[in-house]
Structure 1
Amino acid sequence: MYEYRITVKTGDRPRAGTNGNVYVVLYGEEDLVTPPTKLDAFFHDDFERGQTDVFNLKNIQFDKVSVLELWRDDAGWYTEWNIDTITIENLSGGWEAVFPVFRWIKSNVHYKFRPYDTCLPKDDMFPEQRTRELEEKRTLYKYSQLEPGFPVQAPEIPLDEEFSFSYQWDITKKKLILMGTSKLKTLFRGDWESVEDVESIYDDNMFPRPSDCTRWLSDEKFGQQRFDGLNSMVILLCSVLPPKMAVDDEMMRPFLQGLSLEDAIKSKRTFVVDHSIMDGVTTRPGVFSCAPIALFFRRDDGKIVPIAIQLFQHLAPDNPVFLPSDPKYTWILAKMWFNCADAQVHQWIAHLGFTHIIMEGFVIATHRHLSQSHPIFKLLAPHFLYLIAINHRAVETLMNPGGHIDNTLSVGKDGGVQLIGRHRSLWRLDVAGTLPADLRTRGVEDQEIVPDYPCRDDALLSYNAIRSYVTKYVHLYYASDEVLINDPEIQSWRRDLDLPMEAGGLGIIGVPGSDGKFTTRDQFITVLTSIIYTCSVGHASVNFKQYDEYAFPMNYPSWLKGDPPKDKSAKTERDILDAIHSRKAQMKVMLVSKILSERSTRPLGDFAIDYVYDPPAVQIQKEFREQLKNISDVIKRRNETRECPYPYLDPAEIPNSISI
């Protein structure tokens, strides 16, 4: 006879607890089974939200549990109870196993689980339970398009996606706290008097001085901003001179260190950023924005610097090409207007549209088609934590009329919706969503072409680690391509990915496979790697540097006052000060960028909710964490010698999911 300890961890979700009576049956080998046993600790309120409860069962005839059967009655206020995990330990036999439930237990419904609860559909001992749960999930997770042209989103937040008690995101509350504990009252003194006046707004407490307040003055730093800034995945190698840009060899020769423009292009030393997507985008009333094109050149010392900026797409007498030889503040103002447009592309496309929102569709598809017992659900779920909740809170708080976006971005909500809609037809999972392919497509993968590219170099380390992790994990459960081809849940999930939105799918372009199916494990691995990378490293690259970039208004202005320059007449420092945010508007930018730059969840590989308990998979996770630790050490050493340290893609600083 054996004694068992049963440890039940109730979920930390709204309404997760229960006052119902809970019963279990344990199954052993050779048809041995315990009678139904009520789990109850005298004089103790069991199964409350976020609580762990322990029970002992005696006189068990078998030394291992092969199946746990569980149910609850309908006593109490709520008809469901949310469980994270149940651990069963043989106190006298040394056997122990975790049953990762992570489900809502409906009243008077019996559930059965095997240890570790991980299996493909073909191996499931309880197929009816699996089918029933998936049918229920499809009623909770639905596809919707919340704004014209947007990727798929959920029409409302499913209960499982709500923030836990221990993690709440309330931007209004945080703004009030920051305002009350800082010196931001200095922002109400009136107009800016000087650059030194702008620099005086920071303090040593809540609003420290950004890491670099001189980018606006330096061509080298402006060029470097294309490779370690917030929008570092748009610059590409220039193979043909943009026909929309009014430059010629005579104009460019002074900035090409003796090369002709043709030779500079042939030697792979010229680069271009073309924000044509901004052309004609709606702006806030009385606010202007540009659709610029900029050329950059790699000098003999390896520095990549701007050599020409044209602020609009169409050739015209009042659309000059600005050059480094122009009057100092005229050239600076041209760079600031370029950066203002770049900031719109960053916030709406690189950040909100194609990390936050594009990934929401994958979350919905995963819940609709993959059982929680499926190993791939367990692989992906930690990277989806709070993603739907943060998206909906952001839309409610930041995109509402008169909210942060309408007040601090030049295009406002309406223009931003247009930008996301325009880019949706351009975003391909196998290019924009796959880092090595994206770098190759833009011609910037080679260190000889771009010597100093922190976002590329640091991101590739983590991308490769994620792909290695995913490859091992997939091969653990899929011994061959044939096993994958015959997995109905995965193929159903795959079908929805590129099924047009009008037909009820996500409408994602560039999903590997053919005829709506995966035919190889490598295709599958590419998609899984893209999802995990985008939810972690990809989001970190466009999010956590926001305070450092936006907090100093000349470095990266989110909107500018007045008209973009239409001639090369000399400007002054006063013109710069008159163009940037008012003190009050800059306060709002600093508040929100500070909040959005905070890290609130655990780092990559250290999962706040871990669904993986199958021992071989646990070992793969362990190897992944060890690899990430080594990468963290490499990046820390790199930053010791970098002219501008770049800590944002250190795995120790990258959250697992888009939760802020």
Structure 2
Amino acid sequence: MLHWKSDKWFGIQRLQGVNPVLIKLCTKIPDNLNVDDTMLRPFLETLTIEEAIQSQKLFLVDLGIVEGVPPAPGTQLCAPMGLFYLNKNSELLPVAIQLFQHKGGDNLVFLPSDPPNLWLLAKMFFNNAEVQHHESLTHLGFTHLMMEGVVICSHRHLSVSHPLFRLMAPHFLFLISINVVALQDLIAPGKWVDRVMTVRASGLQEIVKRGLQDWRLDRDGVIPRQVAARGVADPSVLPYYPYRDDACALYSIIERYVRAVLEAAYSQPGSLQADHELQQWRKELTMARQHGGVGMCGVAGDSEQGFTSVDQVVEVVTALVSICSQGHAAANFGQFDEYGFVPNYPPVLYGPVPSSKDAVPSDRDLLNYLPGRFATREIMVITKLLSFRGTRALGDFEVRYIYDPVGSAAADRLRGELRELARQIDRRNATAQFPYKWQSPSVVPNAISV
């Protein structure tokens, strides 16, 4: 509430908000983004656009995936692009916002030099579009819904005594139950999504469909690769990016734990290829949805031979455990911080997108864009409930499935490494202006439980 109007805060939302997986290094201005040197030079510390790109100072968030999704009556849904500049103080600041994907006409490019309320309204419409992406994909589609298929597949093909099942089972607890509640109480016709989101439930499902068509486990589920694919893995390129730093460190800890367990389980030559349960599990993971499979793309292994190495199984299982724990935590537990003050991250805005810079909105005009008292209360209540963590922290398993000496020792090492990472994050947050805790092992739970 104190910072939501500032450009610095708008940049920080891309780095440690509930949707910190969109910001990418800009290596070329998109053909449909209508900016030029004359327009941007005042905000690039005397650099031209090309010089800023060559210096790795420009970053982009493109929400084109929501283009054309029908909005609720009385609302407009933007499909914006935001251009951000990393200044000499290592602050990521917005320098241009274009609210639709096409050039020209009444699709304006908004700048920090525009009248303050007009620039603020452009940022609100940008965030409104990102809310639709966050709730549809980063939160619901890429954690809750995708992992439900994995849970079902695992129960179909892996016995409860299988080492892979015992490894993953603590991270599957509660998921199906919470999904049933969400579908009934939040996404069903006339429920929360229909009442407070621009895209309503039908639009949310359309965005999920679009996102799942492009999602790959080997790129999007492996956090270090996902970060690298966006060009922001190197701290010298983007020095302040707490999501990246914490998420990659936590992912590496999970990977070491998974590797220790699986290398022991498949230590004998030929044991991997001979594991019928494992190979059938992979087969259904990759089987098309219309044929009854999970339809997951990018699963390591071979379509004919299945898994052929332990490294492949480690990659897949690490990604799945990561999604169920840290992936969901990053998207979920910061919701009240972002949504609780509705103008900061508005799920719905009522009124037209500005098409001229001649008419500057007043403070009253900005208020009229926001949802009313009842909808505001609903947004606050639900995001507060979703931000509660009622289950144990990662590694402190609700149910213990692994008792063998190797697996038990691996779990002990896991907990030790998690405690150390949590201490490191606490030390950083103690002096941070805007602490980021959603990838701390003390906050990340074992499973998707809310």
- Give the TM-score, by structure 2 length: 0.98
Question: 1:396-425: CA deviations, max 9, x gaps?
Answer: 110111111111111000100100001111
Deviation of 1:286 after TM superposition, in Å, equals 2.2
Q: Which position in structure 1 is the counterpart of 2:329?
A: 540
**Residue pair 1:431, 1:438 contacting (<8 A) in 2 also:** yes
Q: Aligned to 1:486, which of 274, 277, 287? A: 274
Partners of 2:102 and 2:269 lie apart in 1 by 51
Q: Which position in structure 2 is the counterpart of 1:624?
A: 414
Q: Which position in structure 1 is the counterpart of 2:243?
A: 455
Deviation of 1:615 after TM superposition, in Å, equals 2.5
Question: 1:555-576: CA deviations, max 9, x gaps?
Answer: 1111111111111132222222
Q: Which position in structure 2 is the counterpart of 1:257?
A: 45
Q: Which position in structure 1 is the counterpart of 2:444?
A: 654
Deviation of 1:480 after TM superposition, in Å, equals 5.2
Look up the SS of the partner of 2:214 in the other structure.
coil
Q: Which position in structure 2 is the counterpart of 1:636?
A: 426
Look up the SS of the partner of 2:329 in the other structure.
helix
Partners of 1:301 and 1:377 lie apart in 2 by 48
Look up the SS of the partner of 2:94 in the other structure.
strand
Partners of 2:92 and 2:352 lie apart in 1 by 28
Question: 1:148-185: CA deviations, max 9, x gaps?
Answer: xxxxxxxxxxxxxxxxxxxxxxxxxxxxxxxxxxxxxx
Q: Aligned to 1:559, which of 342, 345, 348? A: 348
Residue type at the aligned position of 1:537: Q
Question: 1:188-209: CA deviations, max 9, x gaps?
Answer: xxxxxxxxxxxxxxxxxxxxxx
Partners of 1:222 and 1:494 lie apart in 2 by 41
C-alpha spacing 1:481/1:336, structure 2 compared with 1 (3 Å): farther
**Residue pair 1:327, 1:571 contacting (<8 A) in 2 also:** no
Q: Which position in structure 1 is the counterpart of 2:154?
A: 366
Partners of 1:646 and 1:337 lie apart in 2 by 25
Give the 5 Å matches for 1:237-386.
237-386=25-174
Residue type at the aligned position of 2:345: Y
Whether 1:609 aligns to 2:399 is yes
Matched pairs, number: 448
Residue type at the aligned position of 2:328: H
Q: Aligned to 1:471, which of 255, 259, 262? A: 259
What residue ranges of structure 1 are gaps of 5+ in the alignment? 1-212
Partners of 2:4 and 2:333 lie apart in 1 by 20
C-alpha spacing 1:252/1:504, structure 2 compared with 1 (3 Å): same
Partners of 1:566 and 1:438 lie apart in 2 by 35
Partners of 1:626 and 1:245 lie apart in 2 by 48
Q: Which position in structure 2 is the counterpart of 1:91?
A: none
Partners of 2:268 and 2:38 lie apart in 1 by 60
Deviation of 1:215 after TM superposition, in Å, equals 3.5
Deviation of 1:237 after TM superposition, in Å, equals 0.6
Q: Which position in structure 2 is the counterpart of 1:405?
A: 193
Residue type at the aligned position of 1:508: M
Look up the SS of the partner of 2:364 in the other structure.
helix
Q: Which has the higher strand share?
A: 1
Residue type at the aligned position of 1:219: D
**Residue pair 1:459, 1:537 contacting (<8 A) in 2 also:** yes
Deviation of 1:481 after TM superposition, in Å, equals 6.3
Partners of 1:325 and 1:287 lie apart in 2 by 26
Partners of 1:648 and 1:278 lie apart in 2 by 26
Whether 1:528 aligns to 2:317 is yes
**Residue pair 1:348, 1:420 contacting (<8 A) in 2 also:** yes
Look up the SS of the partner of 1:215 in the other structure.
coil
Look up the SS of the partner of 1:592 in the other structure.
helix
Partners of 1:496 and 1:596 lie apart in 2 by 31
Q: Which position in structure 1 is the counterpart of 2:376?
A: 586
Partners of 1:464 and 1:411 lie apart in 2 by 36
Partners of 1:523 and 1:494 lie apart in 2 by 11
Deviation of 1:593 after TM superposition, in Å, equals 0.5
Partners of 2:366 and 2:173 lie apart in 1 by 42
Whether 1:506 aligns to 2:289 is no
Partners of 2:404 and 2:384 lie apart in 1 by 39
**Residue pair 1:296, 1:307 contacting (<8 A) in 2 also:** yes
**Residue pair 1:290, 1:311 contacting (<8 A) in 2 also:** yes
Q: Aligned to 2:230, which of 431, 442, 456? A: 442
Whether 1:414 aligns to 2:196 is no
Residue type at the aligned position of 2:381: L
Question: 1:369-394: CA deviations, max 9, x gaps?
Answer: 11111011000000000101111110
**Residue pair 1:639, 1:645 contacting (<8 A) in 2 also:** yes
Give the 5 Å matches for 1:22-101.
none
Partners of 2:141 and 2:17 lie apart in 1 by 18
**Residue pair 1:216, 1:332 contacting (<8 A) in 2 also:** no
C-alpha spacing 1:261/1:481, structure 2 compared with 1 (3 Å): farther
**Residue pair 1:336, 1:556 contacting (<8 A) in 2 also:** yes
Question: 1:410-457: CA deviations, max 9, x gaps?
Answer: 100010010000111111001111101101100010111111111111
Residue type at the aligned position of 1:583: R
Partners of 1:378 and 1:627 lie apart in 2 by 21
Give the 5 Å matches for 1:148-297.
213-297=1-85
Q: Aligned to 2:388, which of 572, 592, 598? A: 598
Deviation of 1:485 after TM superposition, in Å, equals 1.8
Residue type at the aligned position of 1:528: V
**Residue pair 2:34, 2:104 contacting (<8 A) in 1 also:** no
Question: 1:525-555: CA deviations, max 9, x gaps?
Answer: 0100000000000000000010010011111
Which protein, 1 or 2, shows the higher relative CO under an 8 Å CA cutoff with sep ≥ 6? 2
Residue type at the aligned position of 1:469: Y
Residue type at the aligned position of 1:447: P
Larger radius of gyration: 1
